[in-house]
Amino acid sequence: MRARYLVSAMATLAVVMTAGAGLASGGENVQAPRSPKGALPDVINASAPSLHPEGVAWDPARKSFLVGSVRHGTVSVVGLDGQTQTLVNEPRIVSTVGVHVDVKRNRVLAAYADYGVGTRSTEATAFTQAGLGIFDLTTGRTLHLVNLAIGPGPHVANDFALDPAGNAYVTDTASDKIFKVDVNGRASLLAQDPRFTGPAGDGLNGIVWHPGGYLLAVRYDTGSLLRISLRDPVSIVEVRLDQPLVGGDGMLLRPDGTLVVATNALGQSLEGTVRELRSRDGWASATTTRNVSPWTDPVPSTVALTSNGSYVISGRIDLLIGGTLTDEFTLRRF
């Protein structure tokens, strides 16, 4: 999510900062909302009180999606019929952004921040709260809240990648840092580089782990794609692209090696694109192999891999930052 535009949205949103209804607390076994049998539908039109999700993940056990909430700071289960039920409701979190499922360890993880547009936002936390929440996948119980607001602000923990060992690599869009959070919830600085951020704070956003031993991260403002070595994190290479990924938000690395990137122009246009890229040289360079532009739904933000293909979420963040709430959001197959 873009950081700069949301600063000016704080005053606009003051008139709609009322708490949403229908939020359940965690601590019990939350079943998936009832879903139709068979294959996943091409489009899921979902609804929940002013949820405005930015991040999405697939839960193979429930056969349902998990989504965050920029408005309420929750994680919710979304059935294939669009019905939604709260799984995580941690009162210390203002907004949840990127979401991932760790099936092996029965965890769901969510990057959290305060963009000034959440029901729990305060002057003390706006653009200073940043971290990674780790929760029990079955019950939603909080396991760890890992503070990543380290050093001078502002801070916006945005997205993260998971490796097979359970380590998370978190981008801070407003700073020049990538943090590592190990499987036990211990945080450390992985890499710091001036190429990670720009003058407006619209820096690194989406990030994925690659089995070749590196991370791929996209910078929102310039559209550059960076390859960061995990063996030597000071080794950072800009991937040569046939076209920049300006507005690059969430990313997905598929098992076949293709990279799917959702791009948007939050605050400037409702149009977005979803692109597929492939590299034949270990991500020294990459070419676009598919480009859906404009994407059908306004402001696509990120992508989840399911048992039936890749799905892109549109949580109408544009409406939220403009001072209008909606209960509707969309998941669509790419």
| Confidence (pLDDT) at 20 | 41
What average pLDDT is seen over the chain? Answer: 91
- Tell me, rounded to whole angstroms, the distance of Cα 16 from its chain centroid: 23
Separation CA 266–CA 255 (nearest Å): 29
Map tokens 């246009």 to a residue. Answer: 269
The answer, yes or no, to whether residue 249 has pLDDT greater than 90, is: yes
| Confidence (pLDDT) at 45 | 98
pLDDT digits (tens, 9 = 90+) for 300-334: 999 999 989 999 999 999 999 999 999 999 999 99
pTM of the predicted structure, to 2 decimals: 0.91
Residues 6+ apart with CB under 8 A from 38: none
b/e sequence 270-302, b meaning 16+ C-beta within 10 Å: bebbbbbbebeeebeebeeeeeeeebebbbbbb
The answer, yes or no, to whether residue 8 has pLDDT greater than 50, is: no
Tell me the residue type at 43: V
| Confidence (pLDDT) at 7 | 44
pLDDT digits (tens, 9 = 90+) for 103-150: 999 999 999 999 999 999 999 999 999 999 999 999 999 999 999 999
What does R_g of the chain's alpha carbons equal in angstroms?
18
pLDDT digits (tens, 9 = 90+) for 250-292: 999 999 999 999 999 987 888 999 999 999 999 999 999 999 9
Domain range annotation of the chain: 4-30+42-333
Q: How confident is the model at residue 18 (pLDDT cuts 50, 70, 90)?
A: very low
| Confidence (pLDDT) at 148 | 97
Reduce the secondary structure of the chain to three states and give it as a string.
Answer: CCCHHHHHHHHHHHHHCCCCCCCCCCCCCCCCCCCCCCCCCCEEEEECCCCCCCCEEEECCCCEEEECCCCCCCEEEECCCCCEEEEECCCCCCEEEEEEEEHHHCEEEEEEECCCCCCCCCCCCCCCCEEEEEEECCCCCEEEEEECCCCCCCCCEEEEEECCCCCEEEEECCCCEEEEECCCCCEEEEEECHHHCCCCCCCEEEEEEECCCEEEEEECCCCCEEEEECCCCCCEEECEECCCCCCEEEEEECCCCCEEEEEEECCCEEEEEEEEEECCCCCCEEEEEEEECCCCCCCCCEEEEECCEEEEEECCHHHHHCCCCCCEEEEEEC
321 φ, ψ (degrees, to nearest 5)? -75, -15
Q: What angle do CA 14, 15, 17 make, to 5 degrees?
A: 65
Q: For residue 217, give both structure tokens.
A: 């991260």
The widest CA-to-CA distance across the chain, in whole angstroms, is 51
| Confidence (pLDDT) at 33 | 62
| Confidence (pLDDT) at 199 | 83
| Confidence (pLDDT) at 21 | 38
| Confidence (pLDDT) at 203 | 94
The answer, yes or no, to whether residue 3 has pLDDT greater than 70, is: no
The answer, yes or no, to whether residue 37 has pLDDT greater than 60, is: no
Q: How confident is the model at residue 151 (pLDDT cuts 50, 70, 90)?
A: confident
pLDDT digits (tens, 9 = 90+) for 182-232: 999 999 999 999 999 988 788 999 999 999 999 999 999 999 999 999 999
Tell me the residue type at 206: G
| Confidence (pLDDT) at 266 | 83
The answer, yes or no, to whether residue 31 has pLDDT greater than 70, is: no
The answer, yes or no, to whether residue 34 has pLDDT greater than 70, is: no
Query: In the CATH hierarchy, which fold is given to the domain comprising 4-30+42-333?
Result: Neuraminidase (2.120.10)
The answer, yes or no, to whether residue 41 has pLDDT greater than 70, is: yes
